[in-house]
Structure formats: structure tokens, C-alpha cells
Homo-oligomer: A and B are copies of this chain.
Amino acid sequence: MQHPVSEGVLQRPLEFTLDFFGVGEHHLRAMPLSSPTAVINAAAASTNRIKLSTAVTVLSTDDPIRVFQQLATASALAPGRIELVAGRGSSTITFPLFDYDERDYDMLYASKLALLMAVNTDESPTFDGPHRNRPLRDLTIVPRPEEPLKIWLGTGGSPNSVHRAAELGLPMFLGILGGTPEYWARYGHVYRDAWAQAGHPAEKADIAVAVHGFVAESGDRARATYLDYEHRMMADGAAELGRPVPARTDRAAALGAGGMVFVGDPNEIADRILHLHGLLGHTRQILQMDVGGMPQRDFLRGIELLGTKVLPQIRAELGTP
């Protein structure tokens, strides 16, 4: 496995003062990074400023106590830098792997998220949700982070999830593959409305956005190849699972100003992010660049441009440090 720490990938964002590095959970030969918390512990030992997060932890099929303990252990090395995005998972592969019934998809997620939140704020919580056969009580969950971990609710955009995040008072991490900026702006409004209705203070609502994207000197050249990599990622995954390879759909529109794949030169990417920010007011923008076997030199150069050319424009425009 190419490891983000040994391959130097993680060092790149640091050089260029990016704020955040996220590590997903996958169970494919083509994407063998199955333990994001393991990578985050290695990254915590190798860095001293960047925030590190699972993105996402497939919580439905993991043990929330274990996930918390693994990340709390990382936070002993990297206090205040460890976060967690709890998702339901974009595929169902983890259910047979970890011996769960797919029909329990939502019950497992809701119950485990409640336990995760309880464990995060209470060293010795009492909990009796439906995913457990016996209640948890009078036991201690260690180690304890200095402050509770920041837990995001990760969603691909289901209406169910936006209301759950708002009701629970959780920041929302959007994993976006399609749609338009206007569509996601409406989704953000639904979140903020539900947030207010639940009685949470408006200024605490918090949205992160992860899109497929890439930055290169030449926007035209980047656009000419990125969708090939993206399709290859999806085709390889489907083939490995023995599923029909999805037909290559025309995603060219997604690359335009009305789409949600952010590929271009630094000025174009800064404009796309700022445009979306004007609509959605999100506080964090993630670009998933290294899809489908993109050559590492291109990916590393993309990180560099993001840090040196895109980020300064965003910070100047928004007046943030």
C-alpha cells in the first residue's frame, strides 16, 4: 500500500500551510486504506500543525468506542488537531465484511452515533441503544482527549441526514459528487433552518464541503484528464466488487460553473470556492484530488498550487487568517 506518511503526501499540505488532511475508509484493492484511524495516528506522530480527520469513518459497521479510543490516542500526540467525520458509508461492502445486516443500516448509524457522542463528552456514560445487546454503564472509556473531539456528521446529501445533523447540533460534512451550487445552497438552508428550529445558536452551525477536484497550471489540460481518472476509480471499484461497470456518463457539465467538480487553474478554483461560499457559507473546503491512479507528481503539484495560489486568494477575499 502507498502510505500517505511514507510517500510524503502528508508532508505536502504542511509545506503550504493547508489546514486539514482527511483520510477515507475503503475496502478495495484499488483503495486499500481501510483503517483511517491507523493512518491518523501515524500522521499525528509526523506533523505538528495540520488538523487530521477521518473522512469518513463508516460508523454503521464499526464500534464507536473503538473509533473514539483510536482517535483519542492520536489526540494525545496531536492535541486539538484530531477530528472525525461519521458517515453511513457510500457502499454496503462493510456490512457483510463486519457481519452486519444491511437492513439495519439506519438503526446502526443512529444508535452508534449517539454512543459516539456520549463517549466523546462523558468518560463514563450510561447508554442503552438498539445496536447493543446490553447497556453500557459504570465503565470508563479511556484515554480522554484534552477537549472533546470535533465530530462531523458526514452525508452525501440525504434529507434524513441533514435533519439528523441539525437536531443533534452536529457540524455537517458534505461529500458532494453531483448537483449544482444552487442545489447545495438550498441544502445548506434546510440545515440552518432545522438547526435554528432545534434551538441551537445560529453561529454554531458549521458546514464543510468535500468535492472531487484538482488544481493545475493549465485548467484546460486538467479538465481534459480529470474525468478519465474519476471514471477509472469508479470502474475499478465496480469491477473489483463484481458489479456492472457504470457507463461513462457525460460529466462535462459538472466541470462548469454550474457543476460541482472543481477542476481548473488556481484562479478558477478560487472563484468556484468563493462562489459556493457566497451561497453556502461553509467554513472548510476539501478537494479530493488523487482519484483513479492519478500520477503522484500531479497530485503533489495540485496540493502545492492549492496552498500557494488558491488559499491566499480565499483568505484575502474572506478576510480570514
User: Is A235 among interface residues, defined by CB-CB distance under 8 A?
Assistant: no
User: Is A27 among interface residues, defined by CB-CB distance under 8 A?
Assistant: yes
Query: Is A35 within 8 A of B99, CB to CB?
Result: no
**Which secondary structure characterizes the binding site on chain A?**
loop
Oligomeric state, in copies: 2
Interface flags for A71-83 (1: CB within 8 Å of B; 0: not) read 0111011000000
Residue of B33, B41, B65, B72 near A41 (CB, 8 A) is B41
Question: 4 closest A-B pairs (Cβ-Cβ)?
Answer: A32-B142, A1-B143, A42-B45, A32-B143
Interface flags for A23-55 (1: CB within 8 Å of B; 0: not) read 000011100111101110111111000000000
Query: Is B77 within 8 A of A6, CB to CB?
Result: yes
Interface size class of A (residues with CB under 8 A): 35 or more
How far does the alpha carbon of A1 sit from the alpha carbon of B136 in the complex, in Å? Answer: 23
Could you list 16 A-B pairs, sorted by A, with CB under 8 Å?
A1-B72, A3-B73, A3-B77, A5-B45, A29-B140, A29-B142, A33-B73, A35-B70, A42-B44, A62-B66, A63-B98, A66-B98, A97-B136, A97-B139, A97-B141, A99-B134
In the complex, chain A residues 129-163 whose Cβ is within 8 Å of any chain B Cβ: 132-134, 136, 138-144
A265 nearest CB across to chain B (Å): 34
Closest to A242 in B: B138
